[in-house]
Amino acid sequence: MLKFPSDAPKRKVVKALEILGFQIIREKEHISMIRNNPDGSKTPLTMPNHPKIKASTLRTICTQSGITRNEFLGAYKKS
């Protein structure tokens, strides 16, 4: 099983999430993002605004927003 990157650059993580359909709606101490789903629902996502994002934080972000590990890692490689 592939592992989440440790100390991933924030810019690359945000780019990967944008590839997955999320848009930044606010950026202060935390970054708030949202994804409009095909069924009309919205998926919110909040992550810390740190220069590097830890693997455990990435795992939590993906779990809370319903993204699989493989989906995120595929988008992360493209970003």
Residue 40, sorted as left (phi over 0), alpha (psi -120 to 50) or beta, turns out to be: left
Q: What is the pLDDT of residue 1?
A: 73
Q: What is the pLDDT of residue 59?
A: 96
Distance CA 20, CA 72 (A): 8
Return all residues near 75 (Cβ < 8 A) that are at least 6 apart.
Answer: 16, 17, 19, 20
pTM: 0.94
Q: Where are the domains of the chain?
A: 25-74
Q: Which of helix, strand or coil describes residue 22? A: coil
What is the residue-level pLDDT of the chain in tens, covering all 79 positions? 789 999 999 999 999 999 999 999 999 999 999 999 999 999 999 999 999 999 999 999 999 999 999 999 999 999 9
Q: What is the pLDDT of residue 2?
A: 86
CB atoms < 10 A from the CB of 48, how many?
12
Q: What is the pLDDT of residue 71?
A: 96
Contact between residue 4 and residue 12 where contact means Cβ atoms under 8 Å apart: no
